[in-house]
Amino acid sequence: MSNRATIVDDRLFAYLKDNFSSEDEFLAELQIKAKEAGLPPISISPEQGKFMQFLLHSVNAKHVLEIGTLGAYSAITMARALPDDGKIITVENEPKHYEFACKMVLESGLANKIEVVLADGKNFVKEYRTQNQFDFVFVDADKPSYLYYLNNITPKIKIGGIFAADNAFAFGFILDSKPERNPDDVKSIRSFNEYFRTRDNYFTCIVPVGDGIIMGYKKY
Ligand SMILES: C[S@@+](CC[C@H](N)C(=O)[O-])C[C@H]1O[C@@H](n2cnc3c(N)ncnc32)[C@H](O)[C@@H]1O
């Protein structure tokens, strides 16, 4: 047994991308169109997508919430791992991203499974009432609000459901006291990871795909 993880160098990364990717022609084209439309290149990566699809299948997810839609790359990726009667609500606060995402959802043929909502994530969570608790929640938006999202979405997640958040490695700066980039976000992610990790009602882990996904399985 080794006490060090294998470093994913370019060769291994290419192997991952070539064999364990959720990206098809439609999603690759979506990324090109998103760039042309001036959207920032900050969506999940194809191997993250594959991993999330794996998780969704594992918990037989039907009801999914995403905070942070961008161009709907992750929403479309996730929707493809849901059953016919599955549904994703994805929340975006930037009108330009929202409009692009709506167009892509229509073009993807998955409009029956994906509802794009134009709203601030915190307001949406505060006001949203549902009879169907979520099986899976993916937070990929304003980092300082992750704690708020966890605490306020948890009652809306079923026992056995999953809360997952992107950028657990804080763009690689999680251990840096003076990060070169987004110091406030890095600080927020660091305290969020610590808080989430120590909740009794969740079994948590970080999976080192992309910039790291921290996730918790809701025990009670
Ligand atoms: C990293 S991107 C999301 C990427 C997307 N999940 C994907 O992988 O394709 C973050 C998005 O969250 C949105 N956002 C930031 N703060 C938000 C908020 N308070 N409420 C809703 N959306 C927000 C941004 O406008 C941006 O489109």
Residue of 23, 35, 42, 138 best suited for mutating to test ligand 1, as the one with most atoms within 8 Å of CB = 42
Q: Say what the pLDDT of residue 4 is.
A: 85
Task: Assess if residue 5 is contained within a domain.
Answer: no
Task: Assess if residue 70 is contained within a domain.
Answer: yes
Q: Say what the pLDDT of residue 1 is.
A: 65
Domain of 20?
10-218
Residue 113: which CATH number? 3.40.50.150
Task: Assess if residue 3 is contained within a domain.
Answer: no
* Nearest CA among 44, 45, 39, 149 for reference residue 95: 39
Domains contained in the chain, number = 1
Q: b/e string for 76-114 if b means 16 or more Cβ within 10 A?
A: bbbbbbbeeebbbbbbbbbeebbebbbbbbeebebeebb
Q: Say what the pLDDT of residue 3 is.
A: 81
Q: Say what the pLDDT of residue 205 is.
A: 98
Quick one: how many helices (H) and strands (E) in the chain? 8, 7
**Closest ligand 1 atom number to CA of residue 66:** 6
Token pair for residue 110? 């998955």
User: Nearest residue CA, atom 26 of ligand 1?
Assistant: 70
The pLDDT tens digits along the chain (220 residues) read: 678 889 899 999 999 999 999 999 999 999 999 999 999 999 999 999 999 999 999 999 999 999 999 999 999 999 999 999 999 999 999 999 999 999 999 999 999 999 999 999 999 999 999 889 999 999 999 999 999 999 999 999 999 999 999 999 999 999 999 998 899 999 999 999 999 999 999 999 999 999 999 999 999 9
Task: Assess if residue 52 is contained within a domain.
Answer: yes
- 131 C-alpha vs ligand 1 centroid, how far in Å? 25
User: Nearest residue CA, atom 27 of ligand 1?
Assistant: 70
Question: What distances in angstroms separate CA 132 from CA 63, 135, 198, one per listed residue?
Answer: 7, 9, 27
- 37 C-alpha vs ligand 1 centroid, how far in Å? 16
User: Nearest residue CA, atom 8 of ligand 1?
Assistant: 43
Task: Assess if residue 32 is contained within a domain.
Answer: yes
Residue of 31, 114, 140, 145 best suited for mutating to test ligand 1, as the one with most atoms within 8 Å of CB = 140
pTM of the model: 0.97
Task: Assess if residue 156 is contained within a domain.
Answer: yes
Q: Say what the pLDDT of residue 130 is.
A: 84
Task: Assess if residue 1 is contained within a domain.
Answer: no
The answer to whether the CB of 137 falls within 8 A of the CB of 153 is yes
* Nearest CA among 42, 34, 150 for reference residue 101: 34
Residue 5 per-residue DSSP state? P
